[in-house]
Amino acid sequence: ENRPIPEPGPNEVLLRMHSVGICGSDVHYWQHGRIGDFVVKNPMVLGHEASGTVVKVGSGVTHLKPGDRVAIEPGVPREVDEFCKIGRYNLSPTIFFCATPPDDGNLCHYYKHSASYCYKLPDNVTFEEGALIEPLSVGIHACKRAGVTLGSKVFVSGSGPIGLVNVLVAKMMGAAAVVITDLSSSRLQKAKEVGADFTIQVKNESPQEVASKVESLLGCKPEITVECTGVQACIQAGIYATRSGGTLVLVGLGPEMVTVPIVNAAVREVDIRGIFRYCNTWPVAIALLASKRINVKPLVTHRFPLEKALEAFETTKRGEGVKVMLKCDPSDHNP
């Protein structure tokens, strides 16, 4: 990396990056150069699941100092618009977001970021856990939008990293039983490890058959379904599976147009909700990690130094393991 080290503005901090997770979206931009309307037109740095150490602070920064270990929230509003005013800043149309064109991400040695969106990590939370707050935040936001509460029965569709964090968070929020589906038996095994009560390996069942398997394992239809694949058949299964009056949250992003049994959802008053990233989740996640109420460590299955980034991306592309983590700071031995 031969770019000059950036100088932080008054409300920014300069960070020496430490741990950066690879997300499916990073791989998608690398392979296809676009996700929906977001098109890569110029060279772009990837990476948005990250933690690092503060090296320098801007003149207006008071809550951080050099040497502080921080987790980075990648979405920073550029203006205080109507969405910021109601606390839903993730919906701000002009938001800066790491590794979403044209905004650079933080898979590099040095990176500057808005100080307000860097959160100090307690001593008992590792850099790696700090980087995992980003995917964990998707689970927190999705389960909040779904209304998971004491005794909820939950169906999670898809056992990739996002499906797994939804299992972790749903159980943490009081779900009595969580059933999860996937094509891969190894991913379902990982789901068991992080707390799923039941797993279903989908082969070539119809959406209705998947829904009835979910119901028979739980002993009833789930009040909540969290769909993490974006696959048309899975969204269909999610609608059929959800109890009347329940909620289906769509987390996974697939094609823009999908065919779904919308009348089935409508006449049974199944609420369908979307989520876009997250907001106000970093303090919650840090509190959960510091108190050891939630354990994200089993999610990391592969680690690579930054110099082997290509190998790390190839590993993610092949769907090996769960979360691939890159280490940007070779001089530091803190995991």
Q: Which two three-digit tokens encode residue 255?
A: 């094609």
Q: What is the pLDDT of residue 2?
A: 63
Please report, rounded to a whole number, the percentage of residues in the chain having pLDDT higher than 90. 95
Contact 4, 111 (CB under 8 A): no
- Do 313 and 151 meet the contact criterion of CB atoms below 8 Å apart? no
Q: Is residue 280 part of a domain?
A: no
Query: Phi and psi at residue 327, in whole multiples of 5°?
Result: -110, 115
Does any domain span residue 199?
A: yes
User: How many other β-carbons are positioned within 10 Å of the β-carbon of residue 173?
Assistant: 18
Flag whether 109 is in a domain.
yes
d(CA 65, CA 57) in angstroms, rounded, equals: 6
- Same domain, yes or no: 76 and 190: no
Same domain, yes or no: 304 and 266: no
The answer to whether residues 191 and 266 belong to one domain is: yes
Pair (320, 264) in one structural domain: no
In 3-state terms, the chain is what percent helix, strand and coil (to 5)? 35, 25, 45
pTM: 0.96
CATH code assigned at 45: 3.90.180.10
Q: 125 lies in a domain? A: no
Range of the domain at 73: 12-120+296-327
> Is 79 contained in some domain?
yes
Closest among 298, 335, 326, 277 to 124, alpha carbons compared: 335
Q: How far apart are CA 295 and CA 331, in angstroms?
A: 26
For 32-83, the pLDDT digits (tens) are 999 988 999 999 999 999 999 999 999 999 999 999 999 999 999 999 999 9
DSSP letter for each residue of 180-219: EEES-HHHHHHHHHTT-SEEEE-SS--HHHHHHHHHHHHT
| Structural domains of the chain, count | 2
Q: Given a cut of 50, is residue 291 above it in pLDDT?
A: yes
Give residue 332's pLDDT band: very low, low, confident or very high (50, 70, 90): low
- Both 144 and 256 in a single domain? yes
Q: Is the model's pLDDT at 326 over the cut of 70?
A: yes
Q: Are residues 116 and 68 in the same domain?
A: yes
Whether 225 and 176 share a structural domain? yes
pLDDT of residue 1: 52
Is there a single domain that holds both residue 31 and residue 60?
yes
Mean pLDDT of 251-274: 97
Residue 282 lies in a domain: no
Q: Are residues 192 and 252 in the same domain?
A: yes
Q: Is residue 281 part of a domain?
A: no
**Percentage of residues in the chain with pLDDT exceeding 70?**
98
Closest CA to 317 of 27, 99, 33: 27
CATH of the domain at 262: 3.40.50.720
Give yes or no: residues 114 and 238 share one domain: no
Res 34: pLDDT: 92
What is the mean predicted confidence (pLDDT) over 217-242? Answer: 98
Radius of gyration of the chain (CA): 20
- Are residues 266 and 168 both part of a single domain? yes
The answer as to whether 146 is a domain residue is yes
**What DSSP designation does 103 have?**
B
Under the banding of pLDDT at 50, 70 and 90, the label for residue 321 is confident
Is the same domain home to 59 and 24? yes
